[in-house]
Amino acid sequence: MRPVGLVLEHLWTWYRRNWRATVVSSVLMPLMFLGAMGFGLGSRITPGPATHYLPYVVYLAPAMLVALAVQVATGESSFPVLGSFKWDMRYFAITSTPVSVDQLLTAQALWVALRILVSGLAYLAVAALFGAFTNAGALLGVPVAMLAGMAFGSWVLALAASVNDEGVTFGNVFRFVVVPMTLFAGTYYPISQLPAWSRPLAWVTPLWHGNELARAVEFGGMDGLTALGHVGYLLVLTAGGLLVARHRFHVRLKV
Amino acid sequence: MSGVPANVGPVSDDAVLVQADGLVKRFGDFEAVRGVDVKVHRGEAFGFLGPNGAGKSSTMRMIACTSPRTAGELRVLGLDPDRHGPEIRGRLGVVPQQDNLDNELTVRQNLQVYGRYFGLSRKQVRARATELLEFAQLSDRADDQVEPLSGGMKRRLTIARSLVNEPELLLLDEPTTGLDPQARHLLWDKLFRLKQQGVTLIVTTHYMDEAEQLCDRLVVMDNGRIVAEGSPAALIAEHSSREVLELRFPIDQQQPNVPLVQDLADRVEVLPDRLLLYATDGESVLAAANGRGVRPTSSLVRRATLEDVFLRLTGRTLVD
């Protein structure tokens, strides 16, 4: 697995020069939302059954972590991946070395997961300083967020390996998938507030499963079987996305 | 020039580095390479000459072990690319048609990051990068980002990067396409040095002058097939006369003059803007044509080139 490590080293070399630009979208944005919605708007919200009887900001904080994960996963799996095929064609350079296509994809997917991990921890630390997290269980929200992020990001990886436009597709993914998902899949309020017919739409999103799990690890109140179901669904989604991505990477790189 | 390539292993000089028999590459219904046979020996500079779309790059990618063959036999460094891809790629240098540098890294980082993929330690890649920067005349830009470099500099960096693992075989896909004449000559100079150090080169090009300058032996490709093979001189001797007389006429005036000169030359080619008359002695043909009242706007006698060979074999010019 040494080649996988070398690809990660390569991506790290790039990141070391360019990390500043990513901090805004991956850490500051979720913190701003937490501030505005959690502390600001949340100050007018009376804790009740919908918020597990918790202050609104505490209810919101773990879900923002999952939203961050999906955001970072989408960002890292879209333009940089398309660019590596199309613009600077970095992937073609890498696969001309002893590195195989599978090793390259493994490293790229791991990189996305690592980016979620680092951004998630940074967000968690700052949000905790402001009292948005109440107990150490919140730390378990990070692996949950990574899983939910990869369950979506792996499909974006597959998409990025398939499209050949200038990024229009990704704009649409953000507009018509990521944003609606963040608004309607249980980040800001439980989906029981949605009309019954629309709830299945939330159920299929990785974000909803991530939100349920991330709140459960901090606040409790979920039985083991339900938790297993959520984890299982996210794992299947991740594996499916990676398999499609693998096929698309092979098609595109072995021409 | 210390330390740059020539990793000549304990193999005899006539070792075959690349052997292809009936090599085929298909993309869906389209057959890009239709049964190519080539043999490249150690120390040789071997060329694939042909127009765009002839199948040169597809052949190169199969040799580079990045594109699986559809059919036929292929051995690179004596190994089967299907089974030993990573091992072979570790001993090759590849310069693709389009530069695929990391534009957002520095010149030096490009060399170092790439060297790591070939198993070099951090210390080794640092030393190697310094040598290669010197070789590519990029030392003073070492810590600049790649993006704003000129096309010629990026090309030199791509070539330098391909040498980071001291390859036994260097594959260059259209190394100088798109470069200005000065940059091309600088690159040719670099490639000559490598050749002198014993690095085996395989070059694709659609420039005859490049093929004549660099290649000991070449194949002419057209439509996925090899249409001729030999040294540049042998190909010219075999497929063309020694000299060529070019006669330029005003638009659409060349055709009426064909019957007047037809019997003066071994062969006459009609191009959109001129006639090419193939003969051993161009000057005497010109005198004879003038004697028959042929009045071109200009005339030129030159030695035959690979372009003429290509025109003869395919009925088309190379770069159009």
The whole-number pLDDT of residue B183 equals: 84
Distance from CA of B229 to the nearest CA of A (A): 26
Inter-chain touch B100–A10, beta carbons under 8 Å:
no
Which distant-in-sequence residues (6+ apart) come within 8 Å of A235 by Cβ? A147, A151
pLDDT at residue B309 greater than cutoff 60: yes
How many separate domains does chain A show? 1
The whole-number pLDDT of residue B20 equals: 98
Mutate to test the interface with B, among A96, A249, A254 (most CBs of B within 10 A): A96
Alpha-carbon distance of A212 to A233, in angstroms, equals 12
Helix boundaries (H) for A78-221 = 79-86, 90-94, 101-129, 141-160, 168-173, 179-184, 199-204, 206-219
A89 vs B contacts (CB less than 8 Å): 96, 98, 100
Inter-chain touch A255–B101, beta carbons under 8 Å:
no
- Selected residues 123-142 of chain A with any CB under 8 Å from a CB in chain B: none
Q: What is the pLDDT confidence band of residue A170, given thresholds at 50, 70 and 90?
A: very high
Q: Chain A to chain B, count of Cβ pairs less than 8 Å apart? A: 67
Establish if A12 touches chain B: CB-CB under 8 angstroms.
Answer: no
**Residues B80, B84, B89: CA angle, nearest 5 degrees:** 105
B96 vs A contacts (CB less than 8 Å): 89, 92-93, 96
Nearest CA in chain A to B67: A254
Query: Is there a contact between B143 and B107 (Cβ–Cβ < 8 Å)?
Result: yes
Instruction: Tell me the percentage of chain A whose pLDDT exceeds 90.
Output: 94
Domain ranges, residue A173: 2-253
B77 vs A contacts (CB less than 8 Å): none
ipTM > 0.95, yes or no: no
Mutate to test the interface with A, among B82, B102, B110, B126 (most CBs of A within 10 A): B102
Q: What is the pLDDT confidence band of residue B10, given thresholds at 50, 70 and 90?
A: very low
Distance from CA of B218 to the nearest CA of A (A): 24
Average pLDDT over residues B167-193: 90
The whole-number pLDDT of residue B272 equals: 83
B33 vs A contacts (CB less than 8 Å): none
pTM, two decimals, is 0.91
Q: What is the DSSP string of chain B?
A: -TT------SS-TT-EEEEEEEEEEEETTEEEEEEEEEEEETT-EEEEE--TTSSHHHHHHHHTTSS--SEEEEEETTB-HHHHHHHHHTTEEEE-SS----TTSBHHHHHHHHHHTTT--HHHHHHHHHHHHHHTT-GGGTTSBSTTS-HHHHHHHHHHHHTTT--SEEEEESTTTT--HHHHHHHHHHHHHHHHTT-EEEEEES-HHHHHHH-SEEEEEETTEEEEEE-HHHHHHHHS-SEEEEEE-STT-HHHHHHHHGGGSSEEEE-SSEEEEEES-HHHHHHHHHHTT---SEEEEEE--HHHHHHHHHSS-S--
pLDDT at residue A157 greater than cutoff 60: yes
Chain B residues with at least one Cβ partner in A under 8 Å: 27, 61, 64, 66-68, 85-87, 89-90, 92, 94, 96, 98, 100-105, 109, 113-114, 116-119
Q: What is the pLDDT confidence band of residue B4, given thresholds at 50, 70 and 90?
A: very low
Backbone angles phi and psi of A62, in degrees to 5: -65, -35
Average pLDDT over residues A130-139: 93
Alpha-carbon distance of B92 to B85, in angstroms, equals 11
The whole-number pLDDT of residue A105 equals: 98
Model confidence over B36-58: pLDDT tens digits? Answer: 999 999 999 999 998 888 999 99
Domain ranges in chain B are 16-231, 241-303
For B16-231, the fitting CATH number among 3.40.50.1370, 1.20.140.10, 3.30.70.890, 3.40.50.300 is 3.40.50.300
The whole-number pLDDT of residue A89 equals: 95
Average pLDDT over residues B226-241: 93
pLDDT at residue B320 greater than cutoff 70: no
Nearest CA in chain A to B114: A94
pLDDT at residue B241 greater than cutoff 80: yes
Model confidence over A52-93: pLDDT tens digits? Answer: 999 999 999 999 999 999 999 999 999 999 999 999 999 999
Model confidence over A32-62: pLDDT tens digits? Answer: 999 999 999 999 999 999 999 999 999 999 9
Model confidence over B194-219: pLDDT tens digits? Answer: 999 999 999 998 888 888 889 999 99
Strand-strand pairing, B169-173 and B200-205: parallel
Q: What is the DSSP letter of A168?
A: H
The architecture of the domain spanning B241-303 is 2-Layer Sandwich (3.30)
Q: Which of A13, A92, A94 sits opposite B117 (nearest CB)?
A: A94
